[in-house]
Structure 1
Amino acid sequence: MKQNWLKAILPHVAAIGIFLLLAVVYCSPVLEGKIVNQSDMKNVKGMAKEAKDFYEATGERPLWSNNMFSGMPSYVVFTGPGANKVAYMNRVVTLNLPDPINMLFLAMICMYLLLCILDFKYWIRVMGAVAFAFCSYNVIIIDVGHVTKMYDIALMPAVLAGIILTYRGRLLTGAALTALATGMLIYNNHLQIIYYTLIMVLCLAAGAFVHAYKEKQLPQFFKASGLLAIAGGLAVLTSMDSLLILHEYADYTMRGSKSELTLDQDDVTQKKSTGLEIEYAYDWSYGVPESATFLIPGYVGNSSAQKLSSGSNFGEQMISLGVQQAQVDQFLSQQKLPMYYGAQAKGTSGPVYVGAIICFLFVLSLLLVTSWQKWWLIAVTAIGFILAWGKNMSFINDFLFYHLPLYNKFRAPAQALVLPSLTFVVLACWGLQEVANGKHTKAELLTKLKKSLLITGGIIVFFNLISIFFVGFSSHSDAGMLQYFAQMMGGEENGKLLIRALEKDRNSLLLKDSFRSIVFIAIAAGAIWAFLQDKLKWPVAAFIIAAAVTIDLVQVDRNYLNNDSFVDDMTFMQELTPSAADQQIKQDPDPYYRVFNVATSPFDDATPSYFHKSIGGYSPAKLWLYQDLISHQIAKNNMHVLNMLNTKYFIVPDQKSGQPVAQRNPDAYGNAWFVKDIVWAPDANTEMKTLDYLNTRDTAVIDKRFQSQLGGNFKPGTDSSASIKLTKYGLNSLAYTSNNSQEGLGVFSEIYYPAGWKAFIDDKPADIVRVDYALRGVKIPAGQHKIDLKFEPATFFKGQKIAGISSTLLLLLVIAAFGWELFTQNKKEETVVKK
């Protein structure tokens, strides 16, 4: 029995060893202590800096942060350790490996698990695992720092594995695996990937229902589905510490709510959406022909910024225009050029390439696979492409955007290509399994092999012709580059020559990569043919195909994530080193003021938030009211608005040196003040327009909806010595003292957020009203008073309790289920031995 156990386990241990070796070799600079130079992670460090510092200094959970957008909840960035015990499983299943080795390893392990449950042959499992992990999209998002997205992509196959296992009758084990994988998926919290996973699960469930109906097995289907629903519900409960509070927060953000303003809307754009605007959501819509990148990596020119050699058409054109070879070499070594000419107007970091061999085997699977599971996989493939095309298939996607639940919360439709990236691999493996399982005659297999070759080769030729004769090789970026080249080369005609040379390089890349894909397809087809002709044993043929898939993908991936992508900590932190302007400002002993850095892109860069409490920042989920303030006031440099936000310093580029310099703003209002008068606005539009000219130091504009909270006849009073002073600064609480001989309205330079902020005057509750569209106001009695503003979101603490209890329960049930499986399996083996 021991020998049988070892025989069963050793191939899996070997597979784990292969995956570990591949991930470590690919990311070998990590062994030298280097990290990936991820641009988005630099933003994350800026976003989380104040919250992390606060937690380390006080041990208190930071629920609010003031270092971005004048203040916002820190739920989307950092709140300290969570209550969800499933978090520990991230380390367990990745062997506590460092980033990004762990992500690639996890993706391979999860796909390998799925292919094991589908009972594919060994080298097919290994091939599929490697193909899934090293899809170019995955290494590209690792390179830019989309960590949670990569974790969730990696976990998608494990969720499917648990569901398929359950529908096959392994109820306890399948449900346990489903609960664990789904719990981890939700914990890692990339909501868009979770949404796509749900779509895939629904397609699988629909396919299983149809199959059960045809096989007259509906009772078993409903039993399994009920158990899966319980498993999924428990998995959701484990992440209630984040889900509940994010659901509440979404009601106030660009992702989940709608601005009250209609100032910029006409009749056409008045379509109701409780999420993002459709134009914003459709950024990075994949082009329909661009989908050929699955098969030809350079189909639309790879990325928007690439280095070319002096031997390129562009380099030779520069030389022909009189530029010295040394200068051309230097220019091209430093300057990245826009090779991308696809449909995504904002550019791309690289294509979604699943591998030429995988595409070829996918076509073969369509001709060979007869399992019912083929159809739900095809459905998921089609859905993924349609969603990814976004505005390029607007007659379908516009309808989905406005009617499909929650779909309007997400942007960048191209992310939906994670669905066909997964299904292509599974079906490719299935096609190869059909070749090896002996169910088809040799003649049939040779015929289908030939057809697959012709179809795949025909697709390559077709898309080449489409590009050459219909699409062309011009890019959205060419107009801007023409101006740049014209200035550089002394005239527009020379600039046009360089643009045409760039187009030739794009054409050359297409032809080169098309030929490259044909070569890899020929290698795989040749190995299959040799196996069918008894010239190669199956393990040898399968190994050749797996090796070719690995070489193909790694070669392409190295264009995006390579040794140059890794840097030491010092280099990574260089952009987070304070400038002279930052250092000058940090000398100010005032504990709480704001800085507006216009020497950078203020609303797309969180680097200033690393050093200061910033007017700007970076977040995909800004509060709507603050985005309105940016669009209608801050962008117009309205000083009254900037003063009311306590903008004590500006950082601007020096006119001579271009270096950032600090400028003190003596007119900033401070942390809080009393106003002399109120302008009552009938609606949000009027409130915002009033800010165009209002002296916010003396007068506040308030929407009439808050009038009852202040008292219908309330008129603020103030004397010449009236003041409100900040006495204690914290992220979750602020303390003030006020002095005013009259009943007045205190305006606080704090962003209005009703879901948790509470006011107390001398420890007694007081109402907070929205003032000046985005700030907090409190009616304060005459005399001297202590005022506290406290952030106490009940939803957060409720979620913590639910997550702590349910995640502990989930892990215990998973352990019990797998333990029971091992126990019953041993009992069966003992019974067989006795017989």
Structure 2
Amino acid sequence: MKQNWLKAILPHLAAIGIFLLLAFVYCAPVLEGKIVNQSDMKNVRGMAKEAKDFYEATGERPMWTNSMFSGMPSYVIFTGPGANKVAYMNRIITLYTPDPVNMLFLAMISMYLLLCILDFKYWIRVMGAIAFAFCSYNVILIDVGHITKMYDIALMPAVLAGIILTYRGRLLTGAALTALATAMLIYNNHLQIIYYTLIMVLCLAVGAFIHFFREKQLPQFFKASGLLAIAGGLAVLTSMDSLLILREYTDYTMRGSKSELTLDQDDVKQKKSTGLEIEYAYDWSYGKAESGTFLIPGYVGNSSGQRLSASSNFGQQMISLGANEAQVEQFLGQQKLPLYYGAQSKGTSGPVYVGAIICFLFVLSLLLVKSWHKWWLLAVTIIGFILAWGKNMAFINDFLFYHLPLYNKFRAPAQALVLPSLTFVILACWGLQEVANGKHTTQELLKKLKESLYITAGCLLGFVLISYFFVGFTSASDASMLQYFSQMMGGEENGKLMIRALEKDRSSLLLKDAFRSAFFILVAAGAIWAFLVNKMKWQVSALIITVFVTIDLLQVDKNYLGSESFVDDMSYMQDLQPSPADLQIKQDPDPYYRVFNLATNPFDDASPSNFHKNIGGYSPAKLWLYQDLISHQIAKNNMRVLNMLNTKYFIVPDQKTGQPVAQRNPDAYGNAWFVKDIVWAPDANTEMKTLDYLNTRDSAVIDKRFEQQLANFKPGADSSAAIQLTKYGLNKLEYTSRNSQEGFGVFSEIYYPAGWEAFIDGKPADIIRTDYALRGIKIPAGEHKIEMKFEPKTFFTGLKIAGISSTLLLLLVVLSLGWDFYQQGKQPEITETKNIKK
């Protein structure tokens, strides 16, 4: 019997329509041409500006940028268009919708696909898709601008969908879907989310092995696993244009290598790991009790900066201390207050809230679901929470940090909550499916429903009691806020009253949100009960649950990504406009000098990189050499080091107005110079210490490991000796040198051995690491042309691999889907492989 394709596809088209409508309604300002005012994306704009301008002007790929940290590879910023053809799939699958509609739509489509493959009922699929996409963590990521992270989170269900489909016997289609979803995941390139996805996939594979072993079908398991391994390998190859070069680059950064210095205790600790320092990596460790945010959004106080109304306890306390209501409303309209009192010492932008109904259904699933899938999903859930607790579960996480492969490359453990955020939704949907599939008696379902309600109510009450009797409502930020409030309200006693009022607001928020969650749970439980006792049809019950899941999440999400988060282009660009100080500096005709902006946080802000070659910047993957220079020299304001970096201008706040003003540094050494002496250091520690006092204009300090390359060389420089920059580019620098003696030239360029090569009159010359972080070259007597070229062979090898493999992958996906449709057309209906239970 021929299948009615139109009838089969209409429900899916309807689901797509629902997802598009919901995403556009939630992000309605995009219809007016507005964009999300994302702080991190402004940093990205500054980081990439010089590289993008270079590409647009020359058509040449920018491999290096001088706009941050005195120079670094641009691999993690911008290198022009890649060779990976999978890049087009982001836009195609999201139907060319604008940001951030596309990210929410992708998350919904991805989860819907997984739930279709699990063969759940229609409204369960829709509910699960909405619940997954609108988890509060996701909209917070969009609000701050963590775009690649959100794309990769959105794709996690699609990866699972392909793997599960393959294990169910749809080998070609499943492997093709796995390859495509994994290729997109790797292309979007948030390595920490990719790592968590790999953990999840390994748990699934272990669960599948146990299941197939029990069913005595191990050959089928190994056949499917082998095909999945090929699919995964092909997916990795498609991103070789980024992966190969990032692997090489990581060996020189804070993320993948360790400083050679052991000058203080922190450096000694760092020697334990070839990745990040454990204290730095443990920033934003979720509290164990803080995990209650999954059920109660206001648990531990929402965010570190939240607006209160004049009717709040804080506002009323201000009024009782003499402020009038207009003053209070003005103050609270301008000032965000720290309601957050959780365990994350760095604060937070908001909680990870998956929804009260989802938590209730998750508990129900644990009581009802018999499938082998429950156990690996539960394992992923537990692993996610343990990893997210970081230093708050140190006896496990410390061991993992030092022994689990690659784990020490990542920071912010709370990100691991993406795992339970996903598994909660899948299991919640599975629990609802068990209610509807007719496999349980009504009596059994009513009993489990009641037990789930008791357990969830117990969790609600438990979290409230924990806050009141164990955690309390005090915050780590209260000490600094006390000083601020004391000055503002006229004394320490009044300041303490304001802190107490803030604690009352935290307490009120917890109680309000706990009752709110109880309401949504009761609605869902009531809808299920009405279905079970035949007072409501399944479709109506499921629709009610879907609607209230949506209302629940969107009400919370609007606190973090609301209409005020969107701005027009003019407002967005205001923060990216140059100051008078920037404009004054840019009048300098010199093509290449550096600027140190002290009017901002110089090493956590890339906005100065929009306008200058920057001493500072923002990057989670700084070169270790430069981080050492920051920590041991630049932070101590060593002017000889700043001069050798060619810091021609400083931007500082005016003492009277606070506005940034430009100050020229007449002592900057320029782009290159000859030195008259070389000081040999026995190790990196001595090399760094020597910079404390060395006159870097006349002398250079070099580690003894390079002594053989210079072979007892004694540099000389006559009175007119000079090195002049003649051509500036990101991938190539050209100089002329003049010196009657054989000399040693120091270049104010950051040393990076993986790609930079030097040539004197066309002949190769060694680049020596000089002054710990710069480049030095032995230069013959006379006049010479010196070139420095950055042509990392690894990158161009990766481009070729990515271009070929991504083309092959897309071709195989099309062919496998075509073959699957052909095979399905020959069969009356789709049947699952015998004995492979859901």
Aligned to 2:225: 225
Distance in 1 (CA, whole Å) between partners of 2:751 and 2:830 is: 69
TM-score, scaled to structure 1: 0.99
**Aligned to 1:612, what secondary structure does the other structure show?**
coil
* 1:265 positional shift: 2.2
Flag as ranges the 4+ runs of structure 1 deviating above 4 A. 829-832
5 Å-filtered alignment, 1:47-196, equals 47-196=47-196
2:504 paired with 1:504: yes
Aligned to 1:426: 426
Distance in 2 (CA, whole Å) between partners of 1:527 and 1:696 is: 76
Deviations for 1:251-276, whole angstroms, at most 9, x for unmatched residues?
00000000000101279726521100
* 1:4 positional shift: 1.0
Distance in 1 (CA, whole Å) between partners of 2:320 and 2:830 is: 83
**Aligned to 1:576, what secondary structure does the other structure show?**
coil
Deviations for 1:108-151, whole angstroms, at most 9, x for unmatched residues?
00000000000000000000000000000000000000000000
**Aligned to 1:739, what secondary structure does the other structure show?**
strand
* 1:362 positional shift: 0.1
Distance in 2 (CA, whole Å) between partners of 1:710 and 1:291 is: 59
5 Å-filtered alignment, 1:784-803, equals 784-803=783-802
Would you say the 8 A contact 2:675–2:744 is kept in 1? Answer: yes
Would you say the 8 A contact 2:464–2:510 is kept in 1? Answer: yes
5 Å-filtered alignment, 1:335-484, equals 335-484=335-484
Question: Quick one: which amino acid aligns to residue 483 of structure 2?
Answer: Q
Deviations for 1:638-670, whole angstroms, at most 9, x for unmatched residues?
000000000000000000000000000000000
2:772 paired with 1:778: no
Deviations for 1:151-184, whole angstroms, at most 9, x for unmatched residues?
0000000000000000000000000000000000
Aligned to 2:288: 288
Change (3 A) 1:777 1:824: same
Would you say the 8 A contact 2:135–2:421 is kept in 1? Answer: yes
Question: Quick one: which amino acid aligns to residue 825 of structure 1?
Answer: Q
* 1:6 positional shift: 0.8
Unaligned runs of 5+ in 2: 832-838
* 1:727 positional shift: 0.3
Distance in 2 (CA, whole Å) between partners of 1:215 and 1:62 is: 55
Would you say the 8 A contact 2:270–2:277 is kept in 1? Answer: no
**Aligned to 1:85, what secondary structure does the other structure show?**
coil
Aligned to 2:28: 28
Deviations for 1:605-629, whole angstroms, at most 9, x for unmatched residues?
0000000000000000000000000
Question: Quick one: which amino acid aligns to residue 732 of structure 1?
Answer: N
Would you say the 8 A contact 2:824–2:830 is kept in 1? Answer: no
Distance in 2 (CA, whole Å) between partners of 1:650 and 1:510 is: 48
**Aligned to 2:394, what secondary structure does the other structure show?**
helix
Distance in 2 (CA, whole Å) between partners of 1:377 and 1:232 is: 21
Aligned to 1:726: 725
Question: Quick one: which amino acid aligns to residue 588 of structure 1?
Answer: D
Change (3 A) 1:104 1:2: farther
* 1:829 positional shift: 4.2
Question: Quick one: which amino acid aligns to residue 109 of structure 1?
Answer: I
Aligned to 2:678: 678
Question: Quick one: which amino acid aligns to residue 97 of structure 1?
Answer: T
Distance in 2 (CA, whole Å) between partners of 1:556 and 1:603 is: 33
Aligned to 1:300: 300
Question: Quick one: which amino acid aligns to residue 756 of structure 1?
Answer: G
RMSD: 1.1
Distance in 1 (CA, whole Å) between partners of 2:382 and 2:217 is: 28
Distance in 1 (CA, whole Å) between partners of 2:746 and 2:215 is: 69
Aligned to 1:624: 624
Question: Quick one: which amino acid aligns to residue 361 of structure 2?
Answer: L
Unaligned runs of 5+ in 1: none
Would you say the 8 A contact 2:669–2:697 is kept in 1? Answer: yes
5 Å-filtered alignment, 1:582-621, equals 582-621=582-621
Aligned to 2:753: 754
Would you say the 8 A contact 2:732–2:788 is kept in 1? Answer: yes
Aligned to 2:836: none
Aligned to 2:764: 765
Distance in 2 (CA, whole Å) between partners of 1:488 and 1:199 is: 50
2:249 paired with 1:241: no
How many pairs does the alignment contain?
Answer: 831
5 Å-filtered alignment, 1:562-711, equals 562-711=562-711
Question: Quick one: which amino acid aligns to residue 572 of structure 1?
Answer: Y
Distance in 2 (CA, whole Å) between partners of 1:159 and 1:817 is: 17
Question: Quick one: which amino acid aligns to residue 664 of structure 1?
Answer: R
2:824 paired with 1:825: yes
Distance in 2 (CA, whole Å) between partners of 1:7 and 1:20 is: 21
**Aligned to 1:349, what secondary structure does the other structure show?**
coil
Deviations for 1:479-511, whole angstroms, at most 9, x for unmatched residues?
000000000011000000000000000000000
Distance in 2 (CA, whole Å) between partners of 1:3 and 1:120 is: 20
Distance in 2 (CA, whole Å) between partners of 1:683 and 1:138 is: 47
Change (3 A) 1:179 1:127: same
Distance in 2 (CA, whole Å) between partners of 1:369 and 1:355 is: 20
Question: Quick one: which amino acid aligns to residue 799 of structure 2?
Answer: Q
Aligned to 2:741: 742
**Aligned to 2:444, what secondary structure does the other structure show?**
helix
TM-score, scaled to structure 2: 0.98
**Aligned to 1:269, what secondary structure does the other structure show?**
helix
* 1:44 positional shift: 0.3
Question: Quick one: which amino acid aligns to residue 480 of structure 2?
Answer: G
**Aligned to 2:301, what secondary structure does the other structure show?**
coil
**Aligned to 2:575, what secondary structure does the other structure show?**
helix
Question: Quick one: which amino acid aligns to residue 568 of structure 1?
Answer: D
Distance in 1 (CA, whole Å) between partners of 2:613 and 2:424 is: 47
Change (3 A) 1:830 1:465: closer
Question: Quick one: which amino acid aligns to residue 170 of structure 2?
Answer: R
Would you say the 8 A contact 2:269–2:277 is kept in 1? Answer: no
Change (3 A) 1:598 1:213: same
Change (3 A) 1:222 1:588: same
* 1:827 positional shift: 2.2
Distance in 2 (CA, whole Å) between partners of 1:350 and 1:647 is: 39
Would you say the 8 A contact 2:3–2:828 is kept in 1? Answer: no
* 1:325 positional shift: 1.1
Question: Quick one: which amino acid aligns to residue 430 of structure 2?
Answer: W
**Aligned to 1:693, what secondary structure does the other structure show?**
coil
Deviations for 1:403-441, whole angstroms, at most 9, x for unmatched residues?
000000000000000000000000000000000000000
Change (3 A) 1:129 1:317: same
Distance in 1 (CA, whole Å) between partners of 2:830 and 2:247 is: 52
Distance in 2 (CA, whole Å) between partners of 1:575 and 1:682 is: 47
Question: Quick one: which amino acid aligns to residue 322 of structure 1?
Answer: G
**Aligned to 1:252, what secondary structure does the other structure show?**
coil
